[in-house]
């Protein structure tokens, strides 16, 4: 029996209009509450952005920044961040490297980007970070532990750049693609899947009591946790190979369709 549901957001729960069928979800959420099913929002995005989609809904757990931060109604519950020295090293590499990469440094309290960043990149950053500050320089990092770096690159070069970053910082970072030209630089071993496994252990639930939904490679670990894993219709080849089941498109409320069947 399903006792927890974990959903990725972009390309999974949210449609192309960056929204979801709210009346339909209200009914599904009510069923989850009745049946004691926990709802986990698991995303590479910032907690404050994720929470904005579910105003008025209690008892939601947010696994944000690809598993580095976990929040619930009582506030921050889990946290992992880069050392200051490594964060400085990564920042210098991104600014001075060959690929001319623009990035957001994601902290616990806020995210940070250069004032000199292009308007296109600023628009991208504001979609995913509701708490966002512009800084003149990264010569001094903000007084806020950095948990992730987010990049938006040319789609055709996404995997090439991710591989380049992983080679340059072998063992120190993991660069993962989250679709559509997005790359997240995360702490090795810090994943949505690991954060969700800790939650399941805390709640006394078995992995196969979880239903998980995803579309991109930063979802692989949480999909591998359970036999009740669903790849969205539009997903990466790796997700297709990892998930045990298929879900309709995110533009057809695929997650909600499946949950309606699972919850009865």
Domain boundary among 170, 186, 202: 186
Residues 64, 95 within the same domain: no
Q: What pLDDT was estimated at residue 128?
A: 84
Residues 70, 16 within the same domain: yes
Residues 134, 118 within the same domain: yes
Domain boundary among 186, 210, 239: 186
Non-local CB neighbours of 95 within 8 Å, separated by 6+ positions: 138
Q: What pLDDT was estimated at residue 182?
A: 86
Residues 151, 97 within the same domain: yes
Q: What pLDDT was estimated at residue 8?
A: 98
133: β partners: 112
- pLDDT averaged over consecutive 10-residue blocks of the chain (264 residues)? 96 96 98 98 94 96 96 95 96 85 94 95 90 94 94 89 94 85 91 96 97 95 98 96 98 98 95
User: Could you read off the pLDDT of 60-90 as tens digits, one per residue?
Assistant: 999 999 999 999 999 999 999 999 999 999 9
Domain boundary among 138, 161, 186: 186
Residues 75, 202 within the same domain: yes
Indicate the number of domains in the chain. 2
Q: How many residues does the chain have?
A: 264
Residues 75, 194 within the same domain: yes
Task: Give a three-class secondary structure readout of 70-95.
Answer: EEECCEEEEECCCCHHHHHHHHHHHH
CATH code, domain carrying 95? 3.30.1240.10
Q: What domain range includes position 213? A: 4-79+190-263
Residues 171, 194 within the same domain: no
CATH code, domain carrying 213? 3.40.50.1000
Q: What pLDDT was estimated at residue 195?
A: 97
Residues 111, 138 within the same domain: yes
Q: How far apart are CA 147 and CA 22, in angstroms?
A: 31
For residue 203, give Cα distances in angstroms to 4, 41, 73, 157, 259. 10, 16, 15, 41, 21
Residues 206, 253 within the same domain: yes
Residues 74, 11 within the same domain: yes
User: Could you read off the pLDDT of 29-45 as tens digits, one per residue?
Assistant: 999 999 999 999 999 89
Residues 9, 96 within the same domain: no
Q: What pLDDT was estimated at residue 186?
A: 92
Q: What pLDDT was estimated at residue 179?
A: 65
What distance lies between CA 150 and its chain's CA centroid?
A: 11
- Is 8 a catalytic site residue? yes
Residues 46, 171 within the same domain: no
Question: Of these residues, 8, 10, 184, 215, which one is catalytic?
Answer: 8
Q: What pLDDT was estimated at residue 165?
A: 94
């Amino acid at each position: 029996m399903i006792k927890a549901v974990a959903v990725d957001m972009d390309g999974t729960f949210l449609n192309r209009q960056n929204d979801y069928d709210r009346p339909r979800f209200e009914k599904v959420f009510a069923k989850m509450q009745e049946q004691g099913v926990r709802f986990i929002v698991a995303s590479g995005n910032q907690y404050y952005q994720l929470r904005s989609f579910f105003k008025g809904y209690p008892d939601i757990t947010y696994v944000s920044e690809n598993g580095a931060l976990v929040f619930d109604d009582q506030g921050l519950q889990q946290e992992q961040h880069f050392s200051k020295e490594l964060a400085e090293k990564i920042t210098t590499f991104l600014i001075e490297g060959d690929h001319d990469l623009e990035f957001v440094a994601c902290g616990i309290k806020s995210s940070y980007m250069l004032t000199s960043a292009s308007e296109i990149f600023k628009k991208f950053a504001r979609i995913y970070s509701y708490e966002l500050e512009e800084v003149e320089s990264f010569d001094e990092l903000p007084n806020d532990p950095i948990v992730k770096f987010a990049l938006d690159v040319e789609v055709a070069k996404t995997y090439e750049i991710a591989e380049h970053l992983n080679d340059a910082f072998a063992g120190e970072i993991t660069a993962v693609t989250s679709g559509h030209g997005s790359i997240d630089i995360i702490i090795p071993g810090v994943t949505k899947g690991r954060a969700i496994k800790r939650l399941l252990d805390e709640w006394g639930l078995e992995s196969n009591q979880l239903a998980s939904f995803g579309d991109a490679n930063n979802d692989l670990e949480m999909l591998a946790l359970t036999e009740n894993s669903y790849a969205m219709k539009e997903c990466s080849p790796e997700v297709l190979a990892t998930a045990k089941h298929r879900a309709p498109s995110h533009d057809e409320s695929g997650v909600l369709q499946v949950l309606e069947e699972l919850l009865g």
